[in-house]
Structure 1
Amino acid sequence: MEYTELGKTQLHVSRMCLGTWGIGGAGWDLYSDECRMDAIKAAVDCGINFIDTAPAYNGGRAEKYIGQVLHKLGVRKEVILATKCGNEFINGKYIRCGAADKIMRECEESLHNLKTDYIDVYLVHWPDPNVPMEETMDALNTLKKQGKILHIGVSNFTKEQIEEAEKYCDIEVYQPQYSMVDRKGEQLIQWAYAQRIGVMTYGTLGGGILTGKYRELKAYAVNDNRNRFYPYFKEPLFSKVMILLRTMDQISMERNVPLTQIALNWALQKPFISSCIIGAQSRDKIEENCKVFEWKLNSDEIQLLEQALKEYTECMDEL
């Protein structure tokens, strides 16, 4: 495992962060409770000391899994927890809620679920256009003064929204989506990094499309995140990703590594990324992902990937 400073927070985090949207169990493949909790333990066993979650991940279920495992292992103080506010999962729908009273309530619920009395990194999950930014950020400032959260961050914000938020509090962490198949926020990520804001990116595997597991176009349930959130599982992007996968297959055969590690390796070599969030629900996948630190893509391989990405990027720009 590799570790780095998370921007100006002075937190020393693993460069791989365990994402728990899937572990929450809503909109993803089904795994047993035992498998999900063992995945969290596997992350700790592999040296991952950074875990990302949110109350919106199936109504707090992901937080509860994390709280149970860390409490049982007795490693809460060794693990840096990031959770979120401002987005609730109600009756199968995600509802933004940036009001101060709701944030205060969400924080209390997260502390209870996680079996802890403080949260290392507290992120606004999505901006709420119906609530003044000042109200949302003042609530976070209050929680920080109370010692319930240590560092404040935002997720899925634009540059303008980050600058507006910074009028009211110090933004220390930014969580955007970023991967080979979603680079639209790269300029903003580089700007955040230049401001010494720690960057933790999600969607590194494109919702799973970059693992090579999905080679045939198929329909997913309405609430499945591969249908609802990630656009790569539909045309016209699906066919373009398949072209990219052929180049990844070539590198995979020559290196004898899975496609997953190629996608992770590509992202981890970006100097402006502090930590990549990887969602996995089983021990074997986490252990396989962590082997990415045993090797690095060389310049020729990166160039091959960039060439393969040109056609895909042009297609995405047209959408």
Structure 2
Amino acid sequence: MKTIQIDGLDKSVTTLIQGSDYFKPSVYDKVCQVLDRYIAIGGNTIDTAHIYCGGESEVAIGMWLKERNNREDIVILTKGAHHDQNGPRVNPEAIRQDLFESLERLGTDYIDLYALHRDDPNVPVGEIIDALNEHIEAGRIKAIGGSNWTTERIQAANEYAAANNLVGFSFSSPNLSLAKANEPFWKGCVSTDSDDKKWHEETQLPLLSWSSQARGFFTGRFTPEDRSNEDLVRVFYSDANWERLARAEQLANKKGVTAIQIALAYVLNQAFPTCALIGAQNEQELVSCLEGSKIELSRDEVEWLENRS
């Protein structure tokens, strides 16, 4: 499997990252099946978060890491400082609390990739970078990033870090997909637009995309007349996206693959380093993702899929 490098890590990161938002100890057999299959095809990076399944996702992953005795072979991406019922929690105290709980659940003394799950623009970036650097210096975190942070805030954070001889963000994890979002899927989420793509191309900051395949929009199961999935209708139904689907199907036929594999290839063939978070739960879905990750697209093909030319 292809890999990218992220500053701060001595391990490479595979371009397909296994998601775990449904992992729980109560379905541990399934967790093992999913992760064992993923590792068998060459994957090495698992995405989780402090809030997934009330923390049970991290617990289940920790059980698997201990049982397989493979912690040093695996890249763990987890996220913290998500808002709660009282509002934003992007502050040093919440970061520390969530990080220590994640370490305990995962049964490890360090996190490879630690991302802030949301942003709070009211908190100065300096305060956040200072707090994260304390944990980097203590060895609890290898590399830091923002999940659902705007490029403007990441730029400001990295300028502060550079000016103060500190470690800045070395990756970002927003939504990037061939289907462009009409509005955020969840409050506070960030989707990559053309200006963001230009910024990533200029900075070469790696982008780890969630909902890379637009939550099934490119499977062929949906039509403009089928409005049964309210979230998909709200976020991805648009004339431009139906045209992108048609183009993906056309290019898929030409290459002898599927439209959803073309959608995945779109994410992985950008002019900057990218990875795709995937939710494969069975062998068929995993193989589809693996084959999609191998598809090479030219820059002209990427732009044609976007309706840009």
- TM class by shorter chain equals 0.7 to 0.9
Inter-partner Cα distance in structure 1 for 2:116 and 2:51: 12
SS in 1 for 2:261: helix
Partner of 1:74: 69
Matched, 1:59 2:54: yes
Matched, 1:217 2:238: no
Q: Give the drift of 1:19.
A: 2.5
Question: What is the CA deviation profile of residues 194-244 of structure 1, one whole-angstrom value per residue up to 9, with x for unaligned ones?
Answer: 334332222211122123333453345xxxxx72xxxx4238825543343
Q: Give the drift of 1:263.
A: 0.7
SS in 1 for 2:52: coil
Partner of 1:126: 118
Q: Give the drift of 1:33.
A: 4.8
Q: How does 1:218-233 map to 2 (within 5 A)?
A: 218-220=227-229, 227=231, 232-233=232-233
Q: Residue 261 of structure 1 contacts residue 289 of structure 1 at CA under 8 Å; is this kept in 2?
A: yes
Inter-partner Cα distance in structure 1 for 2:38 and 2:49: 18
Inter-partner Cα distance in structure 2 for 1:214 and 1:275: 26
Q: Give the drift of 1:46.
A: 1.2
Q: Give the drift of 1:7.
A: 5.0
User: In structure 2, do the counterparts of structure 1 residues 283 and 97 end up closer, same or farther at CA, with 3 Å as the change threshold?
Assistant: farther
Q: Residue 118 of structure 2 contacts residue 148 of structure 2 at CA under 8 Å; is this kept in 1?
A: yes
Inter-partner Cα distance in structure 1 for 2:261 and 2:236: 25
SS in 2 for 1:60: helix
Partner of 1:101: 93
Matched, 1:84 2:92: no
Inter-partner Cα distance in structure 2 for 1:189 and 1:123: 20
SS in 1 for 2:212: coil
Structure 1 stretch 283-292 or stretch 178-187: which is displaced more? Answer: 178-187
| Identity in percent | 26
Question: What is the CA deviation profile of residues 117-170 of structure 1, one whole-angstrom value per residue up to 9, with x for unaligned ones?
Answer: 100111111112344433322221111111111111112222331133221442
Of 151, 169, 172, which aligns to 2:170?
Answer: 172
SS in 2 for 1:42: helix
Matched, 1:116 2:94: no
Partner of 2:196: 188
Partner of 1:153: 145
Inter-partner Cα distance in structure 1 for 2:293 and 2:149: 30
Inter-partner Cα distance in structure 2 for 1:165 and 1:126: 14
Question: What is the CA deviation profile of residues 30-66 of structure 1, one whole-angstrom value per residue up to 9, with x for unaligned ones?
Answer: x955334422222111111122221122222222222
Q: Give the drift of 1:78.
A: 0.8
Inter-partner Cα distance in structure 2 for 1:267 and 1:124: 22
Inter-partner Cα distance in structure 1 for 2:113 and 2:235: 37
User: In structure 2, do the counterparts of structure 1 residues 164 and 251 end up closer, same or farther at CA, with 3 Å as the change threshold?
Assistant: closer
SS in 2 for 1:87: coil
Partner of 1:313: none
Name the amino acid aligned to 1:72.
Answer: E
Matched, 1:40 2:41: no
Q: Residue 4 of structure 2 contacts residue 273 of structure 2 at CA under 8 Å; is this kept in 1?
A: no
Inter-partner Cα distance in structure 2 for 1:298 and 1:135: 41
Inter-partner Cα distance in structure 2 for 1:204 and 1:42: 20
Q: Residue 218 of structure 2 contacts residue 260 of structure 2 at CA under 8 Å; is this kept in 1?
A: yes
Q: Residue 170 of structure 2 contacts residue 205 of structure 2 at CA under 8 Å; is this kept in 1?
A: yes
Q: Residue 9 of structure 1 contacts residue 172 of structure 1 at CA under 8 Å; is this kept in 2?
A: no
Q: Residue 17 of structure 2 contacts residue 47 of structure 2 at CA under 8 Å; is this kept in 1?
A: yes
Inter-partner Cα distance in structure 1 for 2:9 and 2:202: 14
Inter-partner Cα distance in structure 1 for 2:233 and 2:104: 36
TM-score by length of 2: 0.81
User: In structure 2, do the counterparts of structure 1 residues 238 and 287 end up closer, same or farther at CA, with 3 Å as the change threshold?
Assistant: same
Q: Residue 50 of structure 2 contacts residue 102 of structure 2 at CA under 8 Å; is this kept in 1?
A: yes
Inter-partner Cα distance in structure 2 for 1:208 and 1:7: 32
Structure 1 stretch 129-138 or stretch 12-21: which is displaced more? Answer: 129-138
- Provide structure 1 residue ranges, at least 5 long, that are not aligned to the other structure: 26-30, 221-225, 311-319
SS in 2 for 1:234: helix
Inter-partner Cα distance in structure 2 for 1:83 and 1:235: 25
CA RMSD of aligned residues (A): 3.0
SS in 1 for 2:53: coil
